[in-house]
Homo-oligomer: A and B are copies of this chain.
Amino acid sequence: MKAMILGADGYLGWALSLRLLSRGHEVIGVDNFATRKSVKEVGSDSGIPILSMENRVRAVRDVHGYRMKFHRGDITSYPFIHKAIKEDMPDTVIHFAEQRSAPYSMINAKHAAYTLSNNVIGTINLVYSIMAVNPKIHILKMGTLGEYGTPNFDIPETPFVDARINGKLDRITCPKWAGSWYHWSKVHDTNNLLFTNRVWKTTVTDIMQGPVYGTRTKEITDEKLHTRFDFDEVWGTVVNRFCVEAALDLPLTAYGKGGQTRGYLSLEDSVEALRLLLENPPEKGDYRVVNQFVELLSINEIAEIVKKAAKRLGIDAKVEHLENPRVEAERHYYNPEIKVLPKLGFHRKLKMGDLAGQLIKDILPYRSRIRRYKGAIMPHTNWRKVDNAR
CB interface residues, A 164-193, toward B, < 8 Å? 164-166, 168-170, 172-173, 175-178, 181, 184, 187-188, 191-192
Query: Residue A184 contacts which of B108, B113, B195, B327 (CB distance < 8 angstroms)?
Result: B195
A113 to B117, CA, bound (A): 9
Tell me whether A344 is interfacial, beta carbon within 8 Å. no
Q: Which of A118-126, A220-228, A298-306 contacts B (4 or more CB under 8 A)?
A: A118-126
Interface flag for A283 (CB, 8 Å): no
Which of A64-72, A155-163, A270-278, A307-315 contacts the other chain?
A155-163
B78, B156, B165, B198: which contacts A166 (Cβ < 8 A)?
B156
Q: Given the complex of chains A and B, what is the CA–CA distance between A195 and B146 in angstroms?
A: 14
> Given the interface contacts A166-B153, A168-B153, A327-B199, does A116 sit within 8 Å of B109 by beta carbon?
no
In this complex, the member of A82, A120, A129 whose beta carbon has the largest number of chain B beta carbons within 10 angstroms is: A120
A113 touches B124 (CB 8 A): yes
Interface residues of A in 214-273 (CB under 8 A from B): none
CB distance from A112 to the nearest CB of B (A): 5
Segment touching B, from A36-44, A356-364, A381-389:
A381-389
Closest CB pairs A-B (n = 4): A109-B128, A172-B175, A131-B386, A152-B170
Complex Cα distance, B175 from A164, in Å, reads 11
A154 sits at the interface (CB 8 A): yes
Please give, as numbers and ranges, the residues of chain B lying within 8 Å of A164 by CB-CB distance: 163-164
Distance between A189 CB and nearest chain B CB, rounded to angstroms: 10
- Knowing A108-B128, A116-B120, the reply to whether A166 touches B154 (Cβ < 8 A) is yes
Neighbouring B residues of A128 by C-beta, 8 Å? 108-109, 112, 386, 388
Listed by A's residue number, 6 A-B pairs whose Cβ atoms lie within 8 Å are A109-B129, A113-B124, A161-B165, A173-B175, A173-B176, A188-B188
Which residues of A are in contact with B by a Cβ distance under 8 Å? 78, 82, 108-110, 112-113, 116-117, 120-121, 124-125, 128-129, 131-132, 151-154, 156, 161-166, 168-170, 172-173, 175-178, 181, 184, 187-188, 191-192, 195, 198-200, 327, 383-384, 386, 388
Closest to A164 in B: B164
Contact between A124 and B152, CB atoms less than 8 A apart: no
- Whole-angstrom distance from the CB of A116 to the nearest CB of chain B? 5
> With a CB–CB cut-off of 8 A, which chain B residues contact A181?
124, 192, 195
Task: Give me 5 other A-B pairs in contact (C-beta within 8 A), A163-B163, A173-B177 excluded.
Answer: A128-B386, A163-B164, A163-B175, A175-B175, A187-B191
A154 contacts which of B113, B168, B199, B386 (Cβ < 8 Å)? B168
A338 to B319, CA, bound (A): 53
Alpha-carbon distance A388/B124, docked complex (angstroms): 13
Which residues on the B side are within 8 Å of A82 (C-beta)?
109, 388
Contact of A109 among B78, B108, B200 (CB under 8 A): B78
CB A178 to nearest CB in B, in angstroms, measures: 7
- Cα distance A124–B327 in the bound complex, in angstroms: 18
The one of B132, B168, B169, B170 in contact with A388, judged by C-beta atoms closer than 8 angstroms, is B132
Determine the chain B residues whose CB is within 8 A of the CB of A198 once the complex forms.
327
Which one of A131, A151, A177 has the highest number of Cβ atoms from chain B below 10 Å of its Cβ? A177
Task: Considering the complex, give the chain B residue whose CB is closest to the CB of A152.
Answer: B170
Chain B residue at minimum C-beta to C-beta distance from A180: B195
